[in-house]
Each structure stands twice: as C-alpha cells, then as structure tokens.
Amino acid sequence: MDAQIIAAIVVAIGGLLAVLLRYRLTRKKSDAKVKKSKAKEVVLFDSRKGINTYDINTDYLGSRFDIQNGVIIIPGEEYSRYELRTYYIDGKELKFIPKNVLLSGDRKIYVSCEIKAITASFDVAVYLWETPEQDERDPSVDDRSVTVSDNEWRKTDFSFRAPPDRNYTVNINAEKLSNDGSLQIRNLIVIERFS
C-alpha cells in the first residue's frame, strides 16, 4: 500500500513538472515573438521628442524656416529645399541614414508628418537623397509629392524603397503655388521597417 501512495505522489509530481515546463517554454516563445515584432521597426527621427534648427540643413538657395513649439514654419518662398540631418541609429546621432549591406533586398523607409498651409498653397515633395552623391545617376530616390492648400492639419505618409548599399538623407522641397503665406510641418517621423 505504501508503494502505491509513493507511486501516486511521483506521478503527480511528474505531471506538475511537465505542466510547469510546458508553461515556461510557451512563455519564452511568446516573449521571443514580441521582441521579434518590436525589432521590425526602427525610429530614425521623431520631432515629437524635440526638434531644433540644427536638425535641418538649408544650404539650398537661401531657404529659410523657423521652429516654434515643435512646428517647422516655412515662409512662402517660390521654392525651397530642406534636408533632415539628424538621425539616431543604435543610440548614436548621425548626419545621414547609413548604408546597411547586411540587408537583402531594398530598404523600406517611411516618412510621416502633419502638414498645413496658411493662406497659400504649396506642392510639397519628400524624397530620399543619396549622400554622398555617386557617379552620374540621379541621387534622388522615389520622389513623392502632395499639394497642400488647407489650413487644417493633415497627416501625410510617404514610403520609399531604396538600395541598402547607400547612405541617405530625407529631403523636403516646398514650392509655393499661390498666394502669400506659410507652410507648417509638425510630428515629423522617419522610420525604417524590416521584414
């Protein structure tokens, strides 16, 4: 009779250990899936965390801008060009998005912002610019543009596919189409997604 009790206890303990082991392994797998899904997107720039004049280069034809309360304000010039020159990769601040030759296939870069025009209309183009420029090919990647004429904030998203073996910067061109006024941009975010 004592042998039967001991056998029952051993079976119960074995069953309990099996349940605990299965729970532990399942939890590790789900934790790994969560980590993997989080690793599929890297924020390279986020103006919601702060933006200053250093983050934007305006060496093109005297383009002007101001920043007020996190909003980039572009006066109504005929044509202006702005280069985002601050990116954060692995905790380091860089002046460009560095090449990543370890990737297979194109890079997937996304630019998102909210935009509006005050008493004017603008054609706004966002694109990746290869830096430094190489040989005779066009260093611009996949220009995207929108026309902005309303004074309400409008969320705008741009997506780009680019070869992984080159460095890039995000550029914004603003061309005034009508009237005097300003273009305003806020919540500018640059993300790289991996699949």
Q: What HEC string does 52-96 produce?
A: CHHHEECCCCCCCCEEECCEEEEECCCEEEEEECCEEECCEEECC
Q: 């934790």: which residue's tokens? A: 31
Band of the pLDDT at 88, cuts 50, 70, 90? very high
Higher per-residue pLDDT: 18 or 97: 97
- Per residue, what are the HEC states of 144-163? EEEEECCCCCEEEEEEEEEC
Write phi, then psi, for 54 (nearest 5 degrees): -65, -30
What is the helix (H) or strand (E) element at residue 10, kind and residue range? helix 2-38
**What is the model's pTM?**
0.76
Strand partners, 77: none
At 183, is the pLDDT very low, low, confident or very high (cuts 50, 70, 90)?
very high
Tokens of 108: 């997937």
* Confidence check: pLDDT of 96 > 90: yes
Cβ 45 vs Cβ 86: under 8 Å: yes
**Of the given ranges (10-14, 87-91, 115-119, 144-148), which has the lowest mean pLDDT?**
10-14
The fold for domain 41-193 equals Jelly Rolls (2.60.120)
Which of 20-24, 33-37, 163-167 is predicted with the least confidence, judged by mean pLDDT? 33-37
Torsion 43-46-50-55 (CA) sign = positive
| Residue 22: how many other CB atoms lie within 10 Å | 10
Residue extents of the structural domains in the chain: 1-39, 41-193
The string of pLDDT tens digits covering residues 52-86 is: 999 999 876 668 999 999 999 998 888 899 999 99
pLDDT in the model for residue 142? 72
Q: Which of 62, 85, 76, 86 is nearest to 174 (CA)?
A: 76
Would you give the DSSP letter of residue 139? -
- Rounded Cα distance, 126 and 112, in Å: 10
pLDDT for position 59: 76
Contact 44, 97 (CB under 8 A): yes
Q: Is pLDDT of 133 > 90?
A: no
Q: Please tell me the predicted confidence (pLDDT) of residue 103.
A: 87
